[in-house]
């Protein structure tokens, strides 16, 4: 078992449909994804649907049971964008505030918070553009 396996526990689901080299998988929402909201989740039955890449050696059909496997690196990139970019924005905003408002601490703090806000919004946009959410980085393995 690798370190990535300890962090991300593979989940099992059912193939609903196949589009190009991706399969739409329906699976039960777990405790781990309770507050995320990145996938389409049905409130009524607690099921969610995700797209996953189909590896070349796998042949799956709608109705097949599959296991979702996380590609290494995708989760790390998203975490870096969500944590390090806002930190850099906070430090950059603080530095700019210190340069332009050296005697006014409230304005310095305000520019730091503004830098934090801009960097956080930029990181969210990058994650959406790069598709590091909603099943990106998932492959499947037939059970």
Tell me what percent of the residues of the chain surpass a pLDDT of 70: 70
Please list the alpha-helical segments (H only) found in the chain.
3-7, 74-100, 105-130
The predicted model scores a pTM of 0.54
Whether 6 shows a pLDDT value over 70: the answer reads no
Separation of alpha carbons 19 and 122, rounded Å: 30
Whether 118 shows a pLDDT value over 60: the answer reads yes
pLDDT tens per residue across span 48-66: 777 888 888 788 889 989 9
CA 80, distance to chain mean position in Å, is: 11
pLDDT at 8: 52
Give the pLDDT mean for 123-131: 72
Residue 134's contacts (CB-CB under 8 Å, 6 or more residues apart) are 38, 39, 50, 51
Give the domains, in start order, of the chain with CATH numbers.
Answer: 3-70+135-142 (2.40.50.140), 75-130 (no CATH)
């Amino acid at each position: 078992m690798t370190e990535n396996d300890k962090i991300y526990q593979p989940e099992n689901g059912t193939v609903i449909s196949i589009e190009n080299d991706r399969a739409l998988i329906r699976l039960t929402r777990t405790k781990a994804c309770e507050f995320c909201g990145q996938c389409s989740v049905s409130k009524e039955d607690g099921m969610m649907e995700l797209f996953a890449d189909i590896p070349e050696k796998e042949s799956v059909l709608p109705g097949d049971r599959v296991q979702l496997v996380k590609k290494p690196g995708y989760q790390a990139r998203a975490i870096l964008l969500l944590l390090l970019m806002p930190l850099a924005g906070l430090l950059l905003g603080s530095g700019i505030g210190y340069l332009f408002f050296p005697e006014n601490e409230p304005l310095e703090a305000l520019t730091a918070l503004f830098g934090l806000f801009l960097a956080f919004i930029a990181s969210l946009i990058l994650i959406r553009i790069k598709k590091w959410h909603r099943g990106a980085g998932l492959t499947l393995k037939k059970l």
